[in-house]
Chain A
């Protein structure tokens, strides 16, 4: 491995750690400098992740042994196409959310926003890069602990109530994670995921029951993070109650669950695992289809725009996981494309809803008819575009994503169900957003008077950030060819775990193919 790549891989984890510590210890009372440091850190992460993605697109899997302890004895960070892509997505989203928070003054609402944000990025980047199952647990804990703080940022009774539930359910999830990790360690004697893949493939018939149990326990944990029905109950409450900027950042948190499912299923419990291959798929597919249905039906049950945005996250996770759950290479590529789309679209919707709520005075984000408010035309346009993105209508990338998923699952068993669910729920989503939009913008246009304009921090800045996220969706559409080539190659790489195993376990520390 060329040295600069190894430095970049480890920098993606070190940089937020250092920046988080600096903003926590040295810049506690200096918000201005904290903001500069935080934004600089996010921008640097975008640059690092972009360089890593360019490198990974060549198809090599790079393994970085921390402290130069060789795998499987040491802990490794592994960079392949999937981790690089997720790093880039995280960095872009983090930069947008950080810009929005600074411009609208969200970070003034409480203490330690910037350190928590950086530690959140540390957890996310670490989870995407690590090649060690116990380390995945540790990075999960890091990102969860930071997310508890961010969720409660700004406080208030509703937020605290949602926070208690979110913390308790995630602590139970962490306990289950340890059960799964412990079982796998007990049977295979290793925690390195590549080494584990080799040993699971060679496991005796007597051990397979235990491995299957561990695999399913881990899937339950990851499904909890990914808000798969029936483990989705925490999401609408938590995302609906927290600050909009934080909810937008949390759009990537559910994807960590999806990432972990994809990583463990293809690497450890993949085709080589014999009778254990893709064990979780049978359970996940029906659950994912129900998630899609419940998520989009929830749009009608929502009483506020924020709840609608939260339910749309559930729905998009359902669509994503139904494509993942068939575990076919031709469906995985579209699923990864949809990951990119749904994260950015969900975040954009949260930010736009927040701007609408702030301008409507006492009406907030409730689905009521109110007098006109400032920037109402501009925001209605943005809301329209975000709704198109979230529901998956042309011309934005959601349409391409859903179309590719439909094509990708065509040969899979249960394809009829996936087609029916995705097509019907899209219609439901369109109806729900049309209802909300017409009530808030159209009917409101005929009401006399105007909501008094309050002094609002970052009136144009917030709009620019949200428009930037929508522009990213447009870019995903225009660059559809290269992006789907990349995700397709990623899927092919995922379904060829030998390359990953060789890179981690290989004699040469470089691990080139």
Chain B
């Protein structure tokens, strides 16, 4: 029971932090927020295979039961995609800042001098 509570609250805290940061005005907090959201989702997907401990995901002679290997594969895919997208969005945000002189997601002038 404690493990479920811990995992569930971890997902909740990560999601809350992610949603808060995504709603910020500047691109850097938004990028961090997207990262937090993807961590939350990775944990969530992992938990969808049910929480079990000390069980192998693939064939093992000594094993009596297995844990679900599919969510692990999904999480792997999701991590790769999220990683690539984070890198892309960081570069895009930097490029936009250098070219337009504003760091606001909505493109408004943020009152700072151009770099």
Residues of A within 8 A of B (CB): 134, 138, 141, 145, 148, 152, 155-157, 160-165, 167-168, 171-172, 174-175, 178-179, 181-183, 185-186, 191
Residues of B within 8 A of A (CB): 22, 27, 30, 34, 37-38, 41, 44-45, 47-50, 70-71, 74, 77-78, 81, 84-85, 88-89, 92-93, 95-96, 99-100, 102, 105-107
Given contacts A157-B99, A172-B37, A179-B44, contact A138 B92 (CB under 8 A): no
Question: Chain A: which residue is nearest B100 at the CB level?
Answer: A157
| Interchain CB contact under 8 A, B92 and A167 | yes
How many Å from the CB of B13 to the closest CB on chain A? 16
Greatest chain B CB density within 10 A among A152, A155, A160 is at A160
| Interchain CB contact under 8 A, A164 and B41 | no
Question: Cβ of B96: which chain A residues have Cβ within 8 Å of it?
Answer: 157, 160-161, 163-164
| Interchain CB contact under 8 A, A172 and B48 | no
How many Å from the CB of B20 to the closest CB on chain A? 13
Complex A-B: 27 CB contacts under 8 Å: A134-B74, A138-B77, A155-B99, A156-B99, A157-B99, A160-B95, A160-B96, A160-B100, A161-B96, A163-B96, A164-B96, A167-B88, A168-B22, A171-B34, A171-B85, A172-B37, A175-B34, A175-B37, A178-B41, A179-B44, A181-B74, A182-B41, A182-B45, A182-B48, A183-B48, A185-B48, A185-B71
Question: Cβ of A162: which chain B residues have Cβ within 8 Å of it?
Answer: 107
How far, in angstroms, from A152 to B27 measured CA to CA in the complex? 17
How many Å from the CB of B38 to the closest CB on chain A? 6
Question: Cβ of B95: which chain A residues have Cβ within 8 Å of it?
Answer: 160
Question: Chain A: which residue is nearest B85 at the CB level?
Answer: A171
| Interchain CB contact under 8 A, A164 and B37 | no
Greatest chain A CB density within 10 A among B27, B34, B48 is at B48
How many Å from the CB of A390 to the closest CB on chain B? 28
How far, in angstroms, from A165 to B105 measured CA to CA in the complex? 6
Given contacts A134-B74, A141-B81, A165-B105, contact A186 B37 (CB under 8 A): no
Question: Cβ of B102: which chain A residues have Cβ within 8 Å of it?
Answer: 161
Question: Cβ of B106: which chain A residues have Cβ within 8 Å of it?
Answer: 165
Question: Cβ of B85: which chain A residues have Cβ within 8 Å of it?
Answer: 145, 167, 171, 174
| Interchain CB contact under 8 A, B71 and A175 | no
